[in-house]
Amino acid sequence: QVKPVQSGGGSVQAGGSLRISCTASGYPHSDVCMGWFRQAPGNEREAVAGLYIGGRVRYYADSVKGRFTISHDSAKNTLYLQMNSLTPEDSAMYYCAAGRIAPPIDPMGCDFGRDYWGQGTQVTVSS
């Protein structure tokens, strides 16, 4: 399927870990990039991490560097976000998205457009 389908997430205490997944395939182009975003109530959507499929990790937000890891399994067509040392500030709805590589576009060098976004996964971290 082209539209990403997310899984994982849930609730955890501060200091804990979670992994969220995003499965999708069938994009109409080969220069694919994928990323994770999050949005907490009352806040703007924030870019969390992004990578180029088959290439390097492109971006981590400063707030998650050293704690979160983005990866992609090409055999499973699945994008992952491993989240460690979680804090209540990480609580948000997390979205994955796929787009076309476009290096001038900040911060991930990816043009996500509107078509390839996951349904969202709630992550709640309690103190």
Question: Which tokens belong to 48?
Answer: 């969390």
What mean pLDDT comes out for the span 44-68? Answer: 94
29 vs 16 pLDDT, higher one: 16
- One-letter amino acid of 34: M
pLDDT tier, 22 (very low <50, low <70, confident <90, very high otherwise): very high
Determine the pLDDT at residue 57: 86
Who wins on pLDDT, 93 or 31? 93
Whether 36 shows a pLDDT value over 70: the answer reads yes
- Average pLDDT, integer, range 98-123: 92
Which pLDDT score, from 0 to 100, does residue 1 have? 58
Provide the strand spans (E) within 5-77: 5-8, 10-13, 18-23, 32-39, 46-52, 57-60, 68-73
pLDDT of residue 106: 87
